[in-house]
Amino acid sequence: MKVIFMGTPEFSVVVLEALINSDNEIIAVITNPDAPVGRKQILTSSPVKITAGKNKIPVIQLNEMRNFDVDLAIVAAYGKIIPKNILGIPHYGTINVHPSLLPKYRGASPIQNAILNGDKKTGITIMKLDEEMDHGNIISNLKIQISNLDTYESLSQKLAKIGAELLIKTIPDYISGKIKPIEQKHTEATYTKIIKKEDGKIDWSKNAAEIERMVRAFYPWPTAWTTWNGKILKILEAEVLNGKLVIKKLQLEGGKILSIKEFINGHKDFSVDRLK
């Protein structure tokens, strides 16, 4: 099976590596362009581009897909809507590995929203892409439990792993026609947005459980944050005890990551009441 893969972040890499180690032939990869990263804004390749380079897989532009004889295109966290005329180029169409139980949590931040909303379960959906966002027919899916300790980082890693495994199992049955894709219940669809830095700002009028879920949903980026003494203070780890938020790990702008005990020892004037 000749496959073109589209993806960008670490989530995508797990899926790409599973495909590389399968019986499928990855003939090209499509990913987002190099982008500036960090305080020094160093131009950096996406994790998928780096992985493709290590495996000597060509990296192409989206419109170059027409130049290839491709059986199947596979998308995992590519981050862009793909035009209809591109979706139809592969002989068996384009399928997507989406980290939610569609039609719930279509869009850019399904993992964060599952944690923010206190969901007990989430999962992976393998779907056939159409021109609308996460709208296509469902090919297969798999549920998993969300731990009370899961952060965006840990849950993303779990979902990438099971998504890769489900994809490899699903491809032969999909290609052979053994699986008949099922239309989503569009009236039940919910949507998520692209997460921005300001989404991590803590609203202290929220209850402890809501804030604790923010801490987990936005770790490691953009983190749940507040301000103290005119500086950004990141809350990196917290828990709820007896209905109250207990901060366990934090980082003041320009400083190191510290436990709450270490932080208080170094900042005797620290008071939760002064957080904004």
Number of domains in the chain: 2
**pLDDT computed for residue 41 by the predictor:** 84
Mean pLDDT to the nearest integer, 36-49: 87
Span 178-197, pLDDT tens digits: 999 999 999 999 999 999 99
Q: Do 226 and 177 belong to one domain?
A: no
Q: pTM (2 decimals)?
A: 0.94
Task: Convert the pLDDT of each residue in 85-123 to its tens digit.
Answer: 999 999 999 999 999 999 999 999 999 999 999 999 999
Q: What pLDDT sits at residue 274?
A: 62
Residues 6/31, Cβ–Cβ less than 8 Å: yes
In terms of Cα–Cα distance, which of 194, 218, 75, 48 is closest to 134?
75
**Are residues 58 and 171 both part of a single domain?**
yes
- CATH (domain of 39): 3.40.50.170
Residue 43 pLDDT more than 70? yes
142 shares its domain with 208 = no
Residue 239 and residue 142 share a domain: no
How many residues does this entry show for the chain? 276
- The domain of 242 spans 197-274
What CATH number is given to the structural domain containing 259?
Answer: 3.10.25.10
Q: Are residues 177 and 236 in the same domain?
A: no
238 and 140 share one domain = no
Between 276 and 113, the higher pLDDT residue: 113
Structural contact between residues 214 and 198, judged by C-beta atoms closer than 8 angstroms: no
- On whether the CB atoms of residues 74 and 98 are closer than 8 A, the answer is no
Return the structure tokens found at 166. 């489900």
